[in-house]
A and B are shown apart, each in its own frame.
Chain A
């Protein structure tokens, strides 16, 4: 396992600002949000990471770097899993979409947008996926109450 991360480190050495960490034995790379598309393209083309398995949105509820996106990537030829982590600020949580690199990111990013309000730039079809289109809140944010907000859902009049 450490051997493989070394080769990935070498391939990515031209990109500045990456931090290599670990999530419970899986390698994880912290990426500045401007570099995410570049890193993803390099991982796909040069490191044989061919599938995106999941996108996890996190609301840390802190002043700086409130939101996080964790990309769960998998390589079928190498049989390894690797995580990418991007930190986003609370004012305009925006990050470049990874759909051009792995088209499977489409629905996963829609889910994160639906639940956290993180905007994925140049996403072709950024609609809500679970909640109704006219819903105005983002349910998985920490400032959204568990019981919901009264009046948030417009019900038809009798």
Chain B
């Protein structure tokens, strides 16, 4: 069985991680894929200077996310004797997690309930809400 864990870099993500850890411990041969998605749109507007430095920035963003969010999570899972690997991607959070879970043949996506309020999430919904509504793989939302 494969489980995809979507982290948001906040404490709520730790709850999702803990839930997945417990679930995996009860399951035989369970592989965990820990994902952090950096919100990014190919249709945003940037200055010429930002474009020229984009590749460098992207590499920096990925290495920071790996170092601070994903790698510690994978380390805690492997310490517990579980098989886990890390992924950092750019894109729309809900779409990207769904795409990876689908292409990896995962049986479940585990994410935290986002605490973000504000106008944006009222208008467009949070990433978790979008994932729940559109995912092609079952989603568990950890409160």
- A joins B in a complex: no
Residues of A near any B CB (own CB < 8 A): none
